[in-house]
Amino acid sequence: MTAPFRNLIAGEWTAASDTSPNVNPSNLSDVVGDYARGSAADVDAAVAAAKAAFPAWSRSVPYARHEILKKAAAEVFARKEELGRLLAREEGKTLPEGIGEVTRAGQILEFFAAETIRLAGETLPSVRPGVGVEVTREPLGVIGMITPWNFPIAIPAWKIAPALAYGNCVVIKPAELVPGSAWALVDILHRAGLPAGVLNLVMGKGSVVGQRLLEHPDVTAITFTGSVGTGRRVAKAAIDCDPMKKVQLEMGGKNPLVVLDDADLAVAVETAVNGAFFSTGQRCTASSRVIVTEGIHDRFVEAVTARLSGLVVDDALKAGTHIGPVVDQGQLDQDMRYVEIGRAEGAKLAFGGERLNRETEGFYLQPALFTECTNDMRISREEIFGPVASVIRVKDYDEALAVANDTPFGLSAGICTTSLKYASHFKRNSEAGMVMVNLPTAGVDFHVPFGGRKGSSYGPREQGSYAREFFTIVKTAYTLA
Ligand code: ADP
């Protein structure tokens, strides 16, 4: 028996009326733990606690917030192996990927610890004689957070850390599939010295806990990462609320990686394989469309296929595993359905796409590489969110750029080339929020803005000092001296 993990409400670990099991996708007989499944009433209690904590927390000395975030960062770093193992066990990332994500969460906490004492305003002369103008930033109030399953600790960290750093209170609802890493992060922050009610955790279903957060009039702002469909619902609910909520959405991607004839073949192959298939392709920044000019196309496909056949798909915790399992049955069904859709659309399955059996029962899928794809096929337009990529053959750079930008999304885009001319042109003309040259579309730094354009994102950027745009509100004060 595993002890039920409780919600954190008003500084107390609070039992919910129901729990749900957190199951290891590498081994379905392994239950990571039973986690609370909260109710709308739990959300109401958490929001009330956050609202009550806000006046004191928002006026606390920034250095006190600095010390709490720094202490939490130190514990995350000290426990990165253990927390990386928990993450790999509940989500299916490989152990090195899990440890890498935990390290990133620690770096984010450390970064925002420093930001607490760096938040600056402006003073300007007025256009009126004797009057001065000050522009300052203030916290918003209670921030509701709804996070997805694919980065179970990094995404909660990159929302919680700036919210707290700038003096906001938080109610977070992590994805029901992977609550363990978020629970551990909240536990660390709580023990680092946060006053009761400043950070509340309500685990449970999106349709219950998430929905109540969206409707609650005392939630000032909502930051969401997840699918486009849910994101649209979140935005509508935030606007229908009285008062309306500030909203930030990070959603899907169908990220292009362009490979030009002049690319270094080895770099292009590693970039494509890493970007498309590592973390089981379950990244919103994954390179799911690989757009290749005809001079290098056949050599590239041959080399990628050879590289894929050498990758080990197995238990996320086993040494030597390159690609862990798909996160759950629903996602596996979706991936397999898209493999069938690709075949039916006339794309050629050049590698993989088969369900795999391993020592333990889990959601193992061979990475699937489609070639002879066109950009109007469903497999090239819709986000699959699994280890499935389309290779699209094009004539030249101009066609590659046009195909890269022909998508409803705009999160990340990459190019492999040795030409400064094409790299510079692509950086300027790509319609994506993030552009990579000779680097995978996935894999970003923690101290610079993260976000996209078109259907991928809505509202201000996350991460780095740009996070203040969402997590603070500007005040303009006039004084007659
Ligand atoms: P995915 O599961 O593919 O990451 P979702 O958009 O379904 O994407 O889920 C992202 C987050 O949104 C999860 O925490 C989920 O529980 C939550 N969620 C799902 N439906 C709703 C809803 N109707 N209202 C609020 N949150 C929701």
Q: Please write the tens of the pLDDT for every residue from 439-452.
A: 999 999 999 999 99
For residues 314 and 217, state if they share a domain.
no
Cα(94)–Cα(322) distance, integer angstroms:
7
For residues 340 and 433, state if they share a domain.
yes
User: Atom 20 (ligand 1): residue with closest C-alpha?
Assistant: 206
pLDDT at residue 3 greater than cutoff 80: no
- Using CA atoms, how far residue 336 sits from 229, 363, 367, 402, in Å, is 21, 11, 11, 29
Q: What is the pLDDT of residue 2?
A: 56
Which of 22, 37, 43, 146 has the most ligand 1 atoms within 8 A of CB, as the residue to mutate?
146
For residues 314 and 216, state if they share a domain.
no
Q: What is the pLDDT of residue 1?
A: 42
Residue type, position 83, single letter: L
Give the sign of the dihedral formed by CA 249, CA 279, CA 29, CA 90.
negative
For residues 231 and 275, state if they share a domain.
no
How far does residue 47's CA lie from ligand 1's centre (Å)?
19
For residues 270 and 242, state if they share a domain.
no
In a domain, 268, yes or no: yes
How far does residue 4's CA lie from ligand 1's centre (Å)?
22
CA angle 216, 218, 223 (to 5 degrees): 75
pLDDT at residue 81 greater than cutoff 90: yes
- 250 catalytic? Reply is yes
Which residues form the domain of 423? 256-437
Q: Give the chain's count of helices (H) and strands (E).
A: 15, 23
Query: How large is the average pLDDT for residues 275-291?
Result: 98
How far does residue 149's CA lie from ligand 1's centre (Å)?
9
CA angle 448, 459, 152 (to 5 degrees): 60
Backbone angles phi, psi at 38, to 5 degrees: -75, 170
Q: What is the pLDDT of residue 84?
A: 98
How far does residue 176's CA lie from ligand 1's centre (Å)?
9
Nearest-atom index, ligand 1, CA of 150:
4
pLDDT > 70: percent of the chain: 99
Q: What is the pLDDT of residue 481?
A: 84
Q: What is the pLDDT of residues 245-269, one digit of tens each?
A: 999 999 999 999 999 999 999 999 9
For residues 260 and 360, state if they share a domain.
yes
Average pLDDT, the chain: 97
Residue of 91, 101, 110, 250 with catalytic role = 250
Please work out whether the CB of residue 146 comes within 6 Å of at least one atom of ligand 1: yes
Query: How large is the average pLDDT for residues 426-431?
Result: 98
| Domains held by the chain: number | 2
Question: In this structure, what CATH number is given to the domain that contains residue 380?
Answer: 3.40.309.10
Query: How large is the average pLDDT for residues 363-390?
Result: 98
For residues 160 and 287, state if they share a domain.
no
Please work out whether the CB of residue 334 comes within 6 Å of at least one atom of ligand 1: no
**Banded pLDDT at 383 (limits 50, 70, 90):** very high
In a domain, 136, yes or no: yes
How far does residue 185's CA lie from ligand 1's centre (Å)?
20
Cα(49)–Cα(52) distance, integer angstroms:
5
In a domain, 112, yes or no: yes
In a domain, 453, yes or no: yes
For residues 313 and 201, state if they share a domain.
no
In a domain, 96, yes or no: yes
Cβ burial, residue 250 (10 Å; 0-12/13-18/19+):
buried
Please work out whether the CB of residue 441 comes within 6 Å of at least one atom of ligand 1: no
Nearest-atom index, ligand 1, CA of 229:
6
User: Atom 16 (ligand 1): residue with closest C-alpha?
Assistant: 206
- Using CA atoms, how far residue 350 sits from 82, 308, 480, in Å, is 38, 11, 73
Backbone angles phi, psi at 473, to 5 degrees: -125, 145
The torsion angle over the Cα atoms of residues 392, 397, 401 and 402, rounded to 10 degrees, is: -80
pTM exceeds 0.75 for this model = yes
